[in-house]
Amino acid sequence: MATVTTYPFRNSTKADLLYSILLALGGTMADVKQLYNNSENDLLYAVLEAIVNGGGTGGGTVTEDVLANIQAGAIANGDTVAAGTTLTNFVKQLVQNVYVPVLNDPAFSISNNQAALLKIGAAVDVLLTFTFNRGSIILQGNFQAFRAGAATGYTFIRANDTNYPGMPQVGDTYTVNAYAVVQGINAFKGTVDYAIGAQPKDSSNNNYGAPLAAGTSPVQATGFEGVYPLFATTANIATATEQGLLSMINANNIVLDLVAEAGGNKQKFWLPKAWTDARALTAVQYYNPVSGSFDPTNKIADFTTAADTQNVSGNVINYTKFTNASADRGATQIRLIF
């Protein structure tokens, strides 16, 4: 391995470096004194003239590795000027900046066309779309090339980590037909295989780093939650009205507007047994129109419970029915806390 030398004048200015090169090329101290305090361009012209007059070969080469401990032109602090570098190229490094590209890695994601919450047991066609951003190589603000090569195949994967039929495929979309929604998170996954990327180039058109190797993306996931709806006497005191879908995993502080009791019919609400088995109802609070807020008193004891069923997506599902056991009352807003 060649010896790396750090010269004392490496702590000097760019002008001092040019003076030193001029002397090394055969210039005299008289030449240096004549050019003293001239611009760096004048010094450069003198150096180039000395190179040309040195026999047409570029004035020789650097005879040993030289470690820079200052920033000078395109030579960064810590760079090594390799033995064998021509003086012409050395001067170019001193007086020309070389710009390197910015490498932006590829990005990946997958999405589906369904809502975030679906009824358990529903049959839906799930369109999966894999998005592959190939990244970029940017030089001085301009697009040079994609960082990753083109996609060579997409693989769509079930929740149990088995591939759907025909994988990998050319297209970036896949439809799971007549998918039966199950309780909890319904997951769908995917990956993309991609070819080797382009070779990044610096502003001198020299290779910078290496192309991004061909590979396979990390597994991406998308999905939705399968839930059972709540029911309550919110439209008619004698009817269990289906409510909007809520997460069975984390929904809380659920507000129900129960209609007034009449004709011996009591206010009721129904919770899916699958929900309360996993997350029990712990409190019921009543809205106080005087204070404009819910009273903190837990009124869950005002309700009796009984096993019941509801029809959801054509299936008979087990529910727990909560019935007001206190005196008949008008319309009441309640809040359910789990």
Residues 275-334: tens digit of each pLDDT: 999 999 999 999 999 999 999 999 999 999 999 999 998 999 999 999 999 999 999 999
Sheet strands side by side (includes 107-112): 107-112, 123-133, 173-180
**Structure-model confidence comparison of residues 236 and 54, the more confident one:** 236
How is 150-199 classified by DSSP, letter by letter? -EEEEEEE-TTSPBPTT-SBSSSEEEEEEEEP-SEEEEEEEEEEE---PP
**Which residues lie below 8 Å from residue 251, measured CB to CB, with a gap of 6+?**
338
Q: Given the structure tokens 């979309």, which residue do they identify?
A: 173
Say which CATH number the domain at 114 has: 2.60.40.10
Q: What's the domain range around 212?
A: 102-227
Enter the DSSP assignment of 30: H
Q: What is the pLDDT of residues 169-217, one digit of tens each?
A: 999 999 999 999 999 999 999 999 999 999 999 998 999 999 999 999 9
Kindly indicate the confidence band of residue 55, based on its pLDDT and cuts at 50, 70 and 90. very low
Q: What is the pLDDT of residues 105-156, one digit of tens each?
A: 999 999 999 999 999 999 999 999 999 999 999 999 999 999 999 999 999 9
Nearest to 254 by CA among 275, 223, 226: 275
Question: Considering the entire predicted model, what is its pTM?
Answer: 0.73
* Residue after which a domain boundary falls, among 95, 130, 152: 95
Total of domains in the chain: 3
Decide: 282 and 271 in contact? Cβ < 8 Å: no
User: Beta 117-119 vs 65-67: how paired, if at all?
Assistant: unpaired
Check whether residue 74 and residue 152 sit in a common domain.
Answer: no
Check whether residue 189 and residue 173 sit in a common domain.
Answer: yes
The count of other CB atoms within 10 Å of the CB of residue 56 is 8
Check whether residue 157 and residue 193 sit in a common domain.
Answer: yes
Check whether residue 106 and residue 223 sit in a common domain.
Answer: yes
Check whether residue 306 and residue 257 sit in a common domain.
Answer: yes
The count of other CB atoms within 10 Å of the CB of residue 120 is 22
Q: Which of 19-23, 85-89, 160-164, 329-333 has the lowest mean pLDDT?
A: 19-23
